[in-house]
Structure formats: structure tokens, C-alpha cells
Structure 1
Amino acid sequence: MRISVSADERTGVADEVVRELARRGFETTVHGALSETERDDWAWASEAVARDVAEGRADQGIVCCWTGTGASIAANKVAGIRAALCADAATATGARTWNDANVLALSLRTTSGAELTEILDAWFAGRPSAESGDRANIEHLADIERGR
């Protein structure tokens, strides 16, 4: 699986996310402060990840900033992206199951190494629900993006 990752600074779990993805055998593309050549501001870094996912260069994305909020907002501005700010495994499971989230947003300030492992376990184990009501919600999001 191809995962695009960004952080606006190399603090907290920023580098650990990349190491953990490699340990799990994922191919990663890095943006923002994780890259030597890119702008590291959260809006730009998160947009780069979201575009990788939306344009098919990555299967999923992970965006990080101090609170995770700005990163999730920026990623969600890209059509086709459903970014979810997850502070625990239960939220990550729900985001994947009911929201078919394709970008995980994390707080560099509050996510511990142990929580990171639990969140990633839940995120990658999660599968989008096939229930008609859940699918209708996801389809409606696409309609909203198209202005319908």
C-alpha cells in the first residue's frame, strides 16, 4: 500500500509515523517538514498529501500538525478527501468504517508513541461499511462537493 505522509514540523510522532509505516511494509511519500525540499507549513504539506490520494499517487494519507485540526481542514479542501482527526483507536475504527476516511490526521502535540501504534492498527484494520445507509452518506459527500 502507498501512503503519503506530511508534518509541519519534526516533533512529537512525526518521524515515528514514517518509521512505523516502513516497519509495516508500506511505501511512503513524504511532504512538508519530512521532506528536504518542500514548504513545511501545515496547509501546504497537508494539501500535498491530499492531492497524492485524490490523484491516485497514494492509497491513503496521514497528515500531522500541532493539534491535527489545521492539517485535517486543509486536506478536506481537496475534492474526494475524507480526512479524520483521530486521537484514539476507536475513533480511527469509526472513521474508516462509517466515514470511509482516506486521510488520517494526527496531533503532534498529544499523540504518544503507544497511541500511534493503536491508531495505526485500527486505521489499517478498518474497512468501509457496505451498509446502504453508510454508503449513502459517503455518496452524499460527493454530491456536496459537486454542489448538488
Structure 2
Amino acid sequence: MRIAVAADSLDGVAARIVGELRERGHEVVTHGALNEAERDDWAWACEAAARDVAEGRAEQAVVCCWTGTGASIAANKVRGVRAALCADGARRWNDANVLALSLRVVSEPLLKEILDAWFAGTASTDPADVANVEHLET
């Protein structure tokens, strides 16, 4: 799977995310502080990763900033993106296609657990859940 990754700094697990995804066999497209040719501010970097998803250059994205909140907000400004700060139900009930992480609180062991859960998750087929996700596109 092709996954866009954005971070506004190289703090915490920022670089480890790229390595972990590659070890799992994913192709990674980097943005922000992970790509020397790009602006590293969270709003720009995370929007770029989200646009990769919305425009079909990546199937999913992982966006990061110090808290993860700004990364999520920046990604969610892009139509077609459903970014969620790591929490229960993000993949199942919300069919999230962008994972937002905090560089401050996510450790390497926790990163692996989060990614395991993220990739194991699938979208619900319950009509009510599907209707909620579809409503976001209108």
C-alpha cells in the first residue's frame, strides 16, 4: 500500500513511522520535516499528505505534530479525507483514511500497537455507519 506520511518536526517517533511502514512492506511518500524539499509547518505538511489520499496518490496517510490535533485538523480540511487522532473506532465506525498521531506521547512500542490496530481495522458495513460516512461527502 502507498502511504503518505507528514510530520512538522523530527521529534519523537516521526522518522520511526517511516521505517516501521517500510518494514511492513508499504511504499512511503514523505512530507514536511521528513522531506527536505518541503515546508515543515504542520498545516502545510499534513494538508499535503491528505491531498495525496484525496487525489489518489496514496491510499492512506499518517500525519503528525506535537499533539496530533493540528495534524488532524489540517488533514480534515481536504475533501474526502477522514482523519482521526488515534482512538477506538476510528477505522470501524468512521472509515478513517488518515491516522493522526502525537509526536509527544506516542512511544515506539505504542506506535507498533497503533499501526497493528489501524491496519487490522476495517470499515463497518452496517447501513447506519455507511450512511454516516457517506453524509460527510455531501
Q: TM-score, normalised by structure 1?
A: 0.92
2:99 matches 1:104 = yes
- Give the 5 Å matches for 1:1-148: 1-86=1-86, 91=87, 94-143=89-138
Q: Provide the secondary structure at the position in 1 that maps to 2:67.
A: coil
Unaligned 5+ residue runs, structure 1?
144-148
Q: Sequence identity of aligned pairs in percent?
A: 69
Q: Which amino acid aligns with 1:117?
A: K
Aligned-partner Cα distance in 1 for 2:2–2:92: 20
One-letter amino acid matched to 1:136: A
| Partner Cα distance (1:29, 1:142) in 2 | 25
Query: What SS does structure 2 have at the residue aligned with 1:62?
Result: strand
Structure 2 length-normalised TM:
0.99
- CA distance in 1 between counterparts of 2:65 and 2:137 reads 26
Alpha-carbon distance in structure 1 between the residues aligned to 2:67 and 2:4: 19
Could you say which structure has the higher helix fraction?
1
Q: Residue 36 of structure 1: CA displacement? A: 1.1
1:91-138 superposed Cα distances (whole Å, 9 cap, x missing partner) = 25x100000000000000000111100000000010100110000100
Q: What is the count of residue pairs matched by the alignment? A: 138
Aligned partner of residue 93 in structure 2, secondary structure: helix
1:26 counterpart letter in structure 2? H
Q: Where do 4+ consecutive residues of structure 1 move more than 4 Å?
A: none
State the superposition RMSD in angstroms.
Answer: 0.6
